[in-house]
């Protein structure tokens, strides 16, 4: 990203093996020869310093979002394409909102209504769209490594908006932003004065379908970089074949035992579209052992947060009444996603060094 921190390391460091056939190593990493970050393919590329920087820039864009006219000219003249080969509500709309609030032109590309259906390859498709003049591709695809492949094919910046089981870096960033926001509010601290110290030793349980979850992979990488103590909680069949390279403190098979020790209970969606059903005796049994019911939520410390990336399977991972609790910050995650994605797009496409000149008080006007 074009940021005031040239020390952000290049390269991609996905945890664990690529789980899908045909998926490729998601290198080439995110930076060009000058060390300017061009892509965001894995949250692991950022390290603690890079994550903190994104959160701080997001603070400025959150302030823009609270204005009567939540729009700045920072990316005027730039074109952002959302290229989605999988369903999405939150990620797609929030990237499109973010790009529009930055005054970028937005092209929406849906594989299902494209010439891919007539047999055009993904590479030809991407190169065709790029030939129209594109500055950034936001890519969601069911194959791990797809965003990295696009990054090799085009000169534009690429943001991974979810590739198979591999990664969903902006989800992890918005999750971190939401935790930091909640903890700063609890301690009566202005968010703009909060760093990332709040993550050190934070006890986070990541519960459910870890095996198929790109959200889990990115979140664990981010929290690991920030020094949190992560516990994976899942039946053995929904854990990755190996957790080698996952920066987790422990793995537990029982949710009830872990709940009283958590500061954050992060529930994952059962990924039925990725075949999760074959790994479970039944969804009902899963819900009985791992679903966060009101009775279970009462076992959490009073201050613990409940999070979910969405879409929620109510009655499976999370009970209806738990989804409505004040401690459940699912809609804050969605709201914060816009500011975080504004920050990511701006840091990739904005003028080098201009972030440093954007104190939240004046806002990132870019004008
Ligand atoms: N959390 C998430 O990625 O949601 P969508 O699939 O709706 O984008």
Q: Examine residue 7 and state whether it is found in any structural domain, yes or no.
A: no
User: Same structural domain for residues 328 and 339?
Assistant: no
Average pLDDT, the chain: 87
Q: Examine residue 22 and state whether it is found in any structural domain, yes or no.
A: no
Q: Examine residue 20 and state whether it is found in any structural domain, yes or no.
A: no
Q: Report helix, strand or coil for 167.
A: strand
User: Same structural domain for residues 202 and 281?
Assistant: yes
Q: What is the DSSP string of 251-292?
A: EES-HHHHGGG-SEEEEPPP-GGGTGGGGSS-HHHHHHHHSB
The finding on whether 310 has its CB within 6 A of some atom of ligand 1 is: yes
Residue 132 has pLDDT above 70, yes or no: yes
pLDDT at 32: 66
Cα(87) to ligand 1 centroid in Å equals 8
User: Same structural domain for residues 125 and 183?
Assistant: no
**Cα–Cα distance, 162 to 140 (Å, whole number):** 5
Confidence of residue 29 (pLDDT cuts 50, 70, 90): low
The finding on whether 90 has its CB within 6 A of some atom of ligand 1 is: yes
The CATH number that applies at residue 193 is 3.40.50.1370
Q: What is the DSSP string of 306-337?
A: EE--S---BTTTB-HHHHTSTTB-HHHHHHHH
User: Same structural domain for residues 207 and 298?
Assistant: yes
Q: Do β-strands 305-307 and 136-141 pair in parallel, antiparallel, or remain unpaired? A: unpaired
Range of the domain at 105: 43-167+334-350
Q: Examine residue 158 and state whether it is found in any structural domain, yes or no.
A: yes
pLDDT at 53: 96
Q: Examine residue 29 and state whether it is found in any structural domain, yes or no.
A: no
Residue 141 has pLDDT above 60, yes or no: yes
Q: List pLDDT tens digits, range 42-51.
A: 999 999 999 9
pLDDT at 26: 37
User: Same structural domain for residues 325 and 346?
Assistant: no
pLDDT at 213: 95
The finding on whether 58 has its CB within 6 A of some atom of ligand 1 is: no
Confidence of residue 301 (pLDDT cuts 50, 70, 90): very high
**Cα–Cα distance, 12 to 54 (Å, whole number):** 17
Q: List pLDDT tens digits, range 75-125.
A: 999 999 999 999 999 999 999 999 999 999 999 988 888 899 899 999 999
Q: List pLDDT tens digits, range 324-361.
A: 999 999 999 999 999 999 999 999 999 765 544 343 33
User: Same structural domain for residues 91 and 229?
Assistant: no
Atom 4 of ligand 1: nearest residue by CA position: 90
Confidence of residue 30 (pLDDT cuts 50, 70, 90): low
Q: Do β-strands 157-163 and 136-141 pair in parallel, antiparallel, or remain unpaired? A: parallel
Q: What is the 3-state secondary structure (H, E, C) of 84-111?
A: ECCCCCHHHHHHHHHHHHCCCEEEEEEH
Atom 5 of ligand 1: nearest residue by CA position: 88
Mean pLDDT calculated for residue range 19-23: 33
Q: Examine residue 113 and state whether it is found in any structural domain, yes or no.
A: yes
**Cα–Cα distance, 88 to 168 (Å, whole number):** 12
User: Same structural domain for residues 174 and 283?
Assistant: yes
Mean pLDDT calculated for residue range 176-186: 97
User: Same structural domain for residues 183 and 131?
Assistant: no
The finding on whether 89 has its CB within 6 A of some atom of ligand 1 is: yes
User: Same structural domain for residues 151 and 180?
Assistant: no
- Number of separate domains in the chain: 2
Q: Examine residue 292 and state whether it is found in any structural domain, yes or no.
A: yes
Q: Which residue has the tokens 């769209």?
A: 129
pLDDT at 282: 85
User: Same structural domain for residues 111 and 237?
Assistant: no
Nearest to 299 by CA among 193, 205, 201: 205
Q: Which of 96-105, 170-179, 270-279 has the lowest mean pLDDT?
A: 270-279
Alpha-carbon 102 to chain mean position: 20
- Reduced to 3 DSSP states, what percent helix, strand and coil does the chain have, rounded to the nearest 5? 40, 15, 45
Q: Examine residue 10 and state whether it is found in any structural domain, yes or no.
A: no
User: Same structural domain for residues 185 and 85?
Assistant: no
Does residue 10 contact residue 35 with C-beta atoms inside 8 Å?
yes
Ligand 1 atom nearest 309 alpha carbon = 1
User: Same structural domain for residues 145 and 175?
Assistant: no
């Amino acid at each position: 990203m074009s940021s005031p921190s040239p020390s952000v390391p290049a390269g991609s460091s996905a945890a664990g093996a690529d789980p899908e056939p045909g998926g490729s190593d998601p290198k080439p990493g995110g930076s060009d020869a000058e060390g300017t970050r061009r892509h965001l393919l894995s949250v692991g590329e950022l390290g603690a310093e890079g994550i903190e920087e994104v959160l701080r820039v997001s603070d400025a864009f959150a302030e823009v979002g609270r204005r009567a006219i939540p729009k700045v000219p920072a990316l005027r003249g730039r074109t952002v394409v959302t290229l989605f080969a999988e369903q999405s509500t939150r990620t797609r709309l929030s990237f499109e909102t973010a790009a529009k609030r930055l005054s970028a032109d937005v092209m929406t590309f849906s594989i299902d209504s494209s010439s891919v259906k007539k047999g055009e390859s993904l590479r030809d498709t991407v190169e065709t769209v790029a030939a129209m003049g594109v500055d950034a591709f936001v890519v969601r695809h069911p194959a791990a490594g797809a965003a990295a492949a696009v990054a090799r094919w085009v000169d534009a910046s690429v943001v991974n908006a979810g590739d198979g089981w591999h990664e969903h870096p902006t989800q992890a960033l918005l999750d971190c932003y939401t935790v930091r926001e909640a903890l700063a509010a609890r301690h009566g601290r202005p968010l703009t004065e909060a760093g990332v110290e709040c993550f050190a030793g934070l006890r986070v349980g990541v519960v459910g379908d870890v095996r198929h979850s790109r959200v889990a992979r990115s979140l664990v990488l981010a929290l690991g970089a920030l020094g949190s103590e992560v516990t994976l909680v899942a039946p053995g069949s929904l854990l990755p074949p190996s957790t080698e390279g996952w920066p987790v403190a422990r793995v537990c098979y029982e949710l009830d035992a872990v709940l009283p020790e958590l500061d954050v209970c992060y529930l994952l969606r059962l990924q039925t579209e990725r075949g999760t059903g074959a790994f479970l005796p039944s969804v009902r049994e899963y819900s009985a052992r791992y679903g966060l019911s009101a009775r279970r939520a009462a076992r959490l410390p009073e201050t613990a947060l409940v999070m979910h990336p969405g879409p929620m399977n109510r009655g499976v991972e999370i009970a209806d009444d738990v989804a409505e609790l004040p401690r459940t910050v699912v809609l804050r995650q969605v709201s914060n996603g816009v500011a975080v994605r504004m920050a990511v797009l701006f840091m990739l496409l904005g003028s080098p060094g201009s972030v440093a000149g954007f104190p939240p008080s004046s806002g990132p006007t870019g004008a």
